[in-house]
Structure 1
């Protein structure tokens, strides 16, 4: 028995240790005439996206079929002519992560287009000592779990659903001397070329004709420093429900950009622009080795795209902090309305038309099963929305800003608590209503309020006894706390703030925990940024 197990182990290792000279370039070596400037307009080339993912039967059995046939099937691709594309493109600088070749280019009027390699080098994220190891080889091979042409199917659906989007185009970058110093790095590579979601997009309706498109860091800095700044929560929810429909588990903060739209003379509303759709329709756990990694809970948010969507908490792990902050204002009925709208917009015709944007032979090879799963998810979107709403509602947060706010916390009865947040001016006069939501004990275990900086007012009022836990973190500034509850409920309301400059008029109606060493994440807007993964 031991010999059998040992033999099996050796077979697995041997299968996984088949080496290949991995490069994200489809044509690593420049042709003999590469030094000559060539007019590539209307030229095409036929080649596979990743012939190295074609492996033997033993390897495929243990490590998975994934999307290997899609990777090694040749497709006909348009050749990029940088002299004529979009009126002519000038190479600017290399970018991207350690896993992707990425080149930024710009037109004569400054509009930027980015070229991102369709193949990846995940071993680039490993330490130098591991980059030539068995682990690196398996990490490279796991790229075959992604669908190289999936991003082409998304813009048509995103437009139908009503969310901003990029519009990638599949092109081959030749060894073109007009690339200059970048020729050796990116020449010979199949890429997705798209307009870079950044800066001025006034001529681009796909990004809201926004004068500015900003990073998540910039958006959050504005949101947390100024209570005149808003994020369009309903539109963000549309985008997030679409993420779940297509199984995109990689929605961390750097995979978003934000269109800045004025809603009055001094205030802005931000709407999301999703980008980097590398991990949609993912197919990893279809063989023994991937299943073993799943059993050991390694990278549990790497989610295989199945008919049943599975664990929503794990699927949405990378988006958890943005979701908790931005979706806080939406009540359950808002989720239902948005889910109904997305479901209605994503018709069978829209879905099927979208997948026709893939190369014809790739559509024939792979689209059918994906479309069937997507339609199933669409048909069950209301349940998906209800389930994820319930996950976020368990521990609900309300986050102020570095300006002055008044928080009114009022139990309506023993099951419901209403929270209102008002803008107050420097003279402590109440102005606009910024936030209002009612929480129920059946959905929410704990309600957490963060005042951040500014001179905030926390008013605890009402006659009912709240049946859920309430935590208040005042943050920086000179805050005041007033409690007029009729009953003593100290065990359910806890206030944490410093001993400096704050006024506590709560008697025995709330528990006060003075703390002069509050962590930065609970103290101010700049500290709250530490909650997020930001570039």
Structure 2
């Protein structure tokens, strides 16, 4: 449904270039998703009414969208979203992201037009087509970096060039592409160095002078849970780099692609059953079910285990309490008013109620999230030489310290954390590359299952003192790849020969855990 209008477009959200005074359209994002009562009973009501209601959208003009215009350069996207990359005369990049999705691209071609393909396409209705609209103000209130999407309609514009046939006559979200020098964009922290997850994790694994602001990442992850955004794999992030001390670089996260925020899936008989099996397909309810926090975060688990390993329960609690305070009723209400009136009339009261209810749960959700991550700990080094120190510190606890080894000067502490056997059952240390040193300063409590994985390089594993009584219970295993390591241990510490998996060997292999190679 498309109706032309001569009214001026609404003001954009956030610090974003103003599209010229062109016409607007009244357009429904997906009227094809309205289905009969029987279909909805089995396959869900979802957001079908929002997809079917006409809303105003500014007509997008590539020649006037920003000073000097925009040139389309590259088509892309995931299995669902269709993207068109644009660049201005200064080399700054933007992107058009399709509002409508097509999950059938993940299917073999012979299935896309059949019953399975039609059903997958129909389930696009689980997505709120205007959900991304309300995120910028909420993210700003929560202290999380964000893009600034604006709803636009792309006509059959000759300026699209070779992309004209594929991208004409559809609704898109127009936003900054978080990459490169973004010093002009406040919502990216004015970072002059925004990088991809592949680049950032390569840097993290190869050299300890690159670090991620773990508290800021936790804040962003709790924000994800509040929105019900369960699809937070590595490519859903960009990273704003900032100068640290001593020539180091600190990265802070920029979440992107909110397609799965506010997911509504379980309101049909069959989709409800599927939701029980696929616990990551969690719907946006007023209550975040604590028993399902694991499923809600499954896609981001490799990221979470790597980036949050040194944060304590107190860190989780403090950040959750801070967010609960900053996401006030007034901020929630104000964020919803950016919706077109027709959308607000259909969903405003529902979202106001749900966002307030989920906000009040953030401390309990953070506590459960911490408990899940604390059970099994993985601590990697880098491809530079590091010293890992394990030391009992009383009450059954063990402290793990990771230090950077420097030739001719003292080692410098990179990170440390103390673990309790009531929270943690296993700790695995991975030396990765470099000639690393693993020190056991006493024997950890036997309730910890501790694994030491040497990886590449000629490493040293030593137990201090070597006179520890052999009958003292402990559960420490040294996995020796046999590539010239020096192992100085006595019973009850055990040694086992092994061939390192690719994900355990060096920095390049560790990236496999993050699906980045």
TM-score by length of 2: 0.93
1:203 aligns with 2:184: yes
Correspondent of 2:413 among 433, 436, 442: 433
Question: Partners of 1:355 and 1:243 in 2: how far apart?
Answer: 17
1:312 CA drift (Å)? 0.5
Match runs of 1:75-94 below 5 Å:
75-87=55-67, 88-94=69-75
1:466 CA drift (Å)? 4.4
What secondary structure sits across from 2:56 in the alignment?
A: strand
| Cα offsets for 1:353-384 (capped at 9, x unmatched) | 11111111101101221221111111121111
Correspondent of 2:402 among 413, 421, 440: 421
1:210 CA drift (Å)? 1.4
- Aligned residues of 2:102 and 2:121 also touching (Cα < 8 A): yes
Counterpart of 1:254?
235
- Aligned residues of 2:265 and 2:275 also touching (Cα < 8 A): no
1:491 CA drift (Å)? 5.1
- Aligned residues of 2:446 and 2:474 also touching (Cα < 8 A): no
Counterpart of 1:388?
369
1:343 CA drift (Å)? 1.2
User: Which consecutive unaligned segments of at least 5 residues does structure 1 have?
Assistant: 1-25, 28-38
Question: Partners of 1:182 and 1:155 in 2: how far apart?
Answer: 29
Question: Partners of 2:265 and 2:370 in 1: how far apart?
Answer: 27
1:131 CA drift (Å)? 0.8
Cα 1:421–1:40, aligned 2, differ >3 Å: closer, same or farther?
closer
Correspondent of 2:346 among 365, 390, 397: 365
Correspondent of 1:242 among 204, 220, 223: 223
Question: Partners of 2:496 and 2:474 in 1: how far apart?
Answer: 12
What secondary structure sits across from 1:105 in the alignment?
A: strand
Question: Partners of 1:422 and 1:315 in 2: how far apart?
Answer: 34
1:484 CA drift (Å)? 2.0
1:458 aligns with 2:458: no
Cα 1:463–1:374, aligned 2, differ >3 Å: closer, same or farther?
same
1:262 CA drift (Å)? 1.3
1:73 aligns with 2:56: no
- Aligned residues of 2:474 and 2:492 also touching (Cα < 8 A): no
Counterpart of 2:287?
308
1:414 CA drift (Å)? 4.7
Match runs of 1:209-224 below 5 Å:
209-224=190-205
1:40 CA drift (Å)? 7.3
| Cα offsets for 1:471-509 (capped at 9, x unmatched) | 111111111111125343575000112212211111224
Counterpart of 1:405?
386
1:289 aligns with 2:270: yes
1:521 aligns with 2:507: no
Match runs of 1:467-478 below 5 Å:
467-478=447-458
Counterpart of 2:428?
448
What secondary structure sits across from 2:244 in the alignment?
A: strand
Counterpart of 2:484?
501
Residues 200-209 or 314-323, more deviating: 200-209
Question: Partners of 2:506 and 2:37 in 1: how far apart?
Answer: 56
| Cα offsets for 1:203-239 (capped at 9, x unmatched) | 1121121122111111110001001111100000000
1:103 aligns with 2:84: yes
1:121 aligns with 2:102: yes
- Aligned residues of 1:490 and 1:510 also touching (Cα < 8 A): no
Question: Partners of 2:330 and 2:286 in 1: how far apart?
Answer: 20
Residues 520-529 or 262-271, more deviating: 262-271
1:97 CA drift (Å)? 2.2
What secondary structure sits across from 2:253 in the alignment?
A: strand
- Aligned residues of 2:390 and 2:440 also touching (Cα < 8 A): yes
What secondary structure sits across from 1:85 in the alignment?
A: coil
Question: Partners of 1:45 and 1:229 in 2: how far apart?
Answer: 47
1:510 aligns with 2:489: no
User: Which consecutive unaligned segments of at least 5 residues does structure 2 have?
Assistant: 3-18
1:123 CA drift (Å)? 0.7
- Aligned residues of 1:406 and 1:430 also touching (Cα < 8 A): no
Cα 1:223–1:201, aligned 2, differ >3 Å: closer, same or farther?
same
1:54 aligns with 2:54: no
Correspondent of 1:172 among 141, 146, 153: 153
- Aligned residues of 1:303 and 1:315 also touching (Cα < 8 A): yes
Correspondent of 1:143 among 124, 128, 131: 124
What secondary structure sits across from 1:336 in the alignment?
A: helix
TM-score by length of 1: 0.90
Question: Partners of 2:314 and 2:263 in 1: how far apart?
Answer: 31
